[in-house]
Structure 1
Amino acid sequence: MAMNLHHSLRALTLLGLSAGAVAVPAGASAFGTEPLGLTIGLTPTISSDYLFRGISQTRNRPAVQATVDIQHGSGLYVGGFVSNVTFLGANARQEADALAGWRTTVSGISLDFGGIAYTYPGFENRPASAYDLQYVELAAKASFNISDLPLPAKVLAFLNYSPNYQLESGTGLYVEGGLELALPHDLTLAGRGGYQWIQNNARWGSPDFANWSVSLSYRISDFVLTAGYFDTSLNRGECFGGQKICEARSMLYLSRTF
């Protein structure tokens, strides 16, 4: 997120444990609790930074994160995401997000409809003139696998809406599209591009902005190693009072799926 400037999720937009915000570079494997009809997935991740829609949430420092996903056979699910964060001028040190929604498949298209609450335990909204970091989003995701190409591909689309975005900056709308290609030797090449609109840009701290990324992931058993390049359309002068958290960067992620 941004302070005076935030994030996701979580490769972090968060949706079905996927944020916006670059949080989890690959989907979690899962173990089942069959009597209850539940499937549980857990993915711890370490990364060289924590980006949310292209903007660093740790002021260019490493992050330790975890996601959990609990889904019922009906498609209903709940989940969570936690990470360390560091914002200029704020005492927030942790982010803890709660997710809930419903997943289904229609004509081969995987659909995910849900909501995300972004919270910062321990954050004190002081001084009195400061605006709140915490906010909620409604989220929709669609993905479609294309198997009759030389390389199997997945097309993705995301839509996130907040009635009052972070820092009480009014209506927020985020759209993103992506493409993933399955390469030989357990490699996956992915590209994403998105755009964030904010109603009150002066309160938020930057103009509306685009972000994009390209990454390469390698799966080794239950581990996934991802290297990527990430950037935004914001220059230094537009980036929350001249901070260096919106600039282009290369990143590394290592996750373990359970």
Structure 2
Amino acid sequence: MNHALPMLALCATLFATAAAAADEVKAETELSFNAALTSDYRYRGISQTRLQAAAQGGADINHNPSGLYAGTWLSTISWIKDTPAAGSTPLEWDVYVGKKGQINAALSYDVGLLGYLYVHNHLDQVGLNDANTLEIYGQIGVGPAYLKYSHASTPLFGLVDSKHSGYLDVGANIDLRPGLVLNLHVGYQKVHGINSAVASYHDFKIGLSQEVTQLDGAVLSIAAVGTNADQTFYASPVNGKFMGKNALVLMLSKSF
């Protein structure tokens, strides 16, 4: 059964609730947009675009007094259409809602729901589960460092018997000088169920992000990324290449 419609309804309701709360104090509501081009869309270290480029963009609404926020984000992908008979879905569409704020002067928090939508995917017709995924997440921040955990309340990206999988994300974004940020991350994807031994893995990212004033504040990023994922399980069905290999990823992004 395709779960896109129920998930869309849930995410739309959550989005509307957050937006309604934000509307109460319009002057304190911020609406922002973002767009990016990247040489490879890596998510948790695994390429979603068969090691090729992607176009991305999104929108966010934040209600500063309450800490409520909601947003949506899209990216081109290829992994679903690369799977035989799984559909021709060319996009990942994310919808999220949450609340963030300060616990005290040193500690921040961020909790919410994130839905990954792959409209018209047919993974459930080729021996897998529907690709649409819903995660609950929570994050604690200390200065530039953070610890985040995401828990899948549905099967994870179509993997059979993978409900209740979890992802642990530890990282830091350290200002080296005005406009230059060091990005550090290590993560562990624990996949629940029958594929746990081959589907679970660690990933890493070491990168630099530089604001480019000549491009009206756009950010140019370069990052070394990689995983220790199983090279057979995470191989592209199109060409057999390992989707979690070590690589350099370039990105140009802009918020407005």
How far apart, in 1, do the equivalents of 2:78 and 2:194 lie? 21
C-alpha displacement at 1:59, in angstroms?
0.7
Query: Is residue 192 from structure 1 mapped to residue 182 from structure 2 by the alignment?
Result: no
Deviation for aligned residue 1:128: 5.6
- Residues 219 and 225 of structure 1 are in contact (CA less than 8 Å); yes or no, is this contact kept in structure 2? yes
Matched, 1:157 2:147: yes
Which residue number in structure 1 is paired with residue 30 of structure 2? 39
Distance 2:200 2:176 in 1: 34
3-state SS of the aligned residue for 1:166? coil
Alignment of 1:1-258 (within 5 A): 35=26, 37-72=28-63, 73-87=65-79, 88-89=82-83, 90=86, 91-108=88-105, 109-125=107-123, 127=125, 129-145=127-143, 154-164=144-154, 165-167=156-158, 168=160, 169-184=162-177, 186-202=179-195, 206-221=198-213, 222-240=217-235, 243-258=241-256
Indicate if the aligned counterparts of 1:100 and 1:114 stay in contact, CA closer than 8 A.
yes
What SS is found at the alignment partner of 1:199? coil
1:246 positional shift: 1.1
Q: How far, CA to CA, are the matches of 1:217 and 1:129 in structure 2? A: 41
Distance (Å, rounded) in 2 between the aligned partners of 1:56 and 1:156: 24
Deviations 1:133-180 (A, max 9, x none): 1110001122222xxxxxxxx111111001222214222111111122
* Change in CA separation of 1:126 and 1:141 when aligned onto 2, cut-off 3 Å: closer
Task: Give the C-alpha shift of residue 74 in structure 1.
Answer: 1.2
Amino acid at match of 2:70: V
Unaligned runs of 5+ in 2: 1-22
| AA of the residue aligned to 2:232 | G
User: Using the alignment, how far apart are the partners of 1:63 and 1:191 within structure 2?
Assistant: 22
Q: 2: distance between equivalents of 1:122 and 1:49?
A: 23
**Cα distance change of structure 1 residues 93 and 182 upon mapping to structure 2, 3 Å threshold:** same
Question: Higher helix proportion, which one?
Answer: 2
Give the C-alpha shift of residue 34 in structure 1.
Answer: 6.3
Measured on the aligned residues, the alpha-carbon RMSD in Å equals 2.2
Q: Distance in 1 between matches of 2:245 and 2:194?
A: 19
| AA aligned opposite 2:223 | G
SS in 2 for 1:82: strand
Q: 1:234 to 1:124 in 2, by over 3 A?
A: closer
Give the letter for the 2:148 counterpart: F
Q: TM-score, normalised by structure 2?
A: 0.78
Distance 1:184 1:116, change over 3 A: same
Rounded Cα–Cα distance in structure 2 between residues aligned with 1:37 and 1:216? 32
- CA deviation after TM superposition for structure 1 residue 208, in Å: 1.0
Distance 1:219 1:60 in 2: 25
Q: Measured at CA, do residues 243 and 36 of structure 1 come closer, stay the same or move farther in structure 2, by a change above 3 Å?
A: same
Q: Give the SS at the match of 2:92.
A: strand
Distance of 1:122 and 1:111 partners within structure 2: 35
What letter is aligned with 1:99? Y
The answer as to whether partners of 1:229 and 1:249 remain within 8 angstroms in 2 is: yes
Q: Is the contact made by 1:81 and 1:97 (CA closer than 8 Å) also made in structure 2?
A: yes
What is the identity percentage for the equivalent residue pairs of Structure 1 and Structure 2? Answer: 23
The aligned amino acid for 1:232 is T
> TM-score if structure 1 supplies the norm length?
0.78
The answer for the alignment partner of 2:11 in structure 1 is: none
